[in-house]
Amino acid sequence: MPPQPSPPTRSAVDALRANFPELRPPGALTGRLEALLPCRALPAGRVLFAQGQSPKAFYMVAGGEIEARFAALDGRMSVLEHVRAPRLFGLAAFVTGKPSRYEAAARVDSRVWVIGEPAYRLLMDDWPGFARALMREFAERFEGNLRLLEAARHLSAPDRFAVALRQLASERAGPVDAEGWRELRATQAELAQLAHLSRQTVNQLLRAEQDQGRLRLRYGRIAWKG
């Protein structure tokens, strides 16, 4: 039997609060929400929902990493986002009831909390401020994805690389240290997918940025000023 992803280290409600630290759920809501938010294990490579499918829930990552991607007209897969704990995803197709424009698949062994209709109604109706915060979160993410798509179609390779790097940094970069550096865990392959560039081109751009003192390359990580 393949190894199973480790269980989440925090509760679903704590993960929701990590997404929206300005909000605090009413005390009576916590137990009801936990009972409505099952956690599902996904082995690496498993598709959670497919492009063209109408999901019956949206999701929050409890552990691992989910890749949101869509098939282009030429058959290639274009990556929209890499989603890590505790981020939410899949809201648009769930709320509209329309087929999803992308598929979501586990990049590594992962776990997700499943937010179905009963939990969604409870969150929107009984948690003050949640609806507004949720809409703001997904609007900001949609804007970021649009910037990536625009970059892929119109911008030069260095500009597309810069947009992809900023997108990854917004998703997973650590805090700025005393010297102004932020470290993010990312590979050349991830940057190449997001920027719609070859790995060779991304490697050249990374080395050029390092030579100019704007990046520090480490194994599987990038320290970045930006």
pLDDT in tens, 123-155: 999 999 999 999 888 877 766 666 655 655 556
**88: in domain:** yes
Same domain, 116 and 166: no
Q: How confident is the model at residue 66 (pLDDT cuts 50, 70, 90)?
A: very high
Residue-level pLDDT at 3? 47
CA 78-192-195 angle, to 5 degrees, is 65
Residue type, 8: P
**212: in domain:** yes
Same domain, 33 and 127: yes
The CATH code of the domain that includes 200 is 1.10.10.10
- Six token digits for residue 215: 């990046």
Look-up of token digits 């499943």: 114
Q: Which domain holds residue 193?
A: 155-224
Using CA atoms, how far residue 189 sits from 60, 66, 182, 196, in Å, is 24, 15, 20, 10
* Cα–Cα distance, 37 to 88 (Å, whole number): 13
Highest average pLDDT, of 36-45, 66-75, 166-175, comes from 36-45
Same domain, 112 and 161: no
Look-up of token digits 């649009």: 146
CA neighbours closer than 13 Å in the CB half-sphere of residue 35: 7
Write down which residue in 85, 108, 137 finishes a domain. Answer: 137
Task: Look at the chain and count its residues.
Answer: 226
Same domain, 118 and 84: yes
Question: For the chain, what is the mean pLDDT?
Answer: 84
* Cα–Cα distance, 145 to 164 (Å, whole number): 10
- Six token digits for residue 189: 């392959």
Strand-pairing partners, residue 68, are 81, 104
Prediction pTM value? 0.66
Q: Mean per-residue pLDDT for 112-130?
A: 96
Q: Which of 14-18, 101-105, 131-135, 146-150 has the lowest mean pLDDT?
A: 146-150
Same domain, 131 and 166: no
pLDDT in tens, 181-226: 888 888 888 888 777 788 888 888 888 888 888 888 877 788 877 5
* 3 state SS for 54-123: CCCEEEEEEECEEEEEEECCCCCEEEEEEEECCCEECHHHHHHCCCCCCEEEECCCEEEEEEEHHHHHHH
Residue-level pLDDT at 61? 97
Residue-level pLDDT at 151? 54
Could you give the number of structural domains in the chain? 2
**110: in domain:** yes
Residue-level pLDDT at 162? 80
Spatial contact of 34 and 86, defined as CB atoms under 8 Å apart = no
Same domain, 75 and 23: yes
